[in-house]
Amino acid sequence: MAVLAFLLSFLNLGQINSELKLLRGESITPKDALSRAGLWLKAMGQLLWEALWIFLWSLPGMAVTFAGYLLVFRNPGISNFLVSLGSLCTSVLAVRAALRYSMGPVILADRPDTGVLRAQRESISMMKSRTLLLLIVIMSFLLLEFLVTLVTAYLPGMLGATLGMAADLALSVYISTTVCAFYEACREKPAVQFAREGSGPLWMPAESVIPEEIGPESGDGEEPEETGGNDWTETEEPDGSEPEEQDRPEPEGEDRPE
| φ and ψ at residue 212, rounded to 5 degrees | -70, 140
Nearest-angstrom CA–CA distance, 98 and 54: 6
Which stretches of the chain drop beneath a pLDDT of 70?
1-8, 188-258
Nearest-angstrom CA–CA distance, 74 and 113: 56
| φ and ψ at residue 202, rounded to 5 degrees | -75, -30
Neighbouring CB atoms inside 10 A of 58's CB total 21
The end-to-end CA distance of the chain, in Å, is 119
- pLDDT score, position 56: 94
Cα angle 37-39-40, degrees, rounded to a multiple of 5: 75
* pLDDT tens for each residue of 17-34: 888 888 888 888 887 778
Q: Read out DSSP for 78-108? A: HHHHHHHHHHHHHHHHHHHHHHHTTTHHHHH
Query: What's the pTM?
Result: 0.65
* pLDDT tens for each residue of 101-128: 999 999 998 888 888 899 999 999 888 8
In DSSP terms, which residues pair with 205 in a beta bridge?
192
In terms of residues, how long is the chain?
Answer: 258
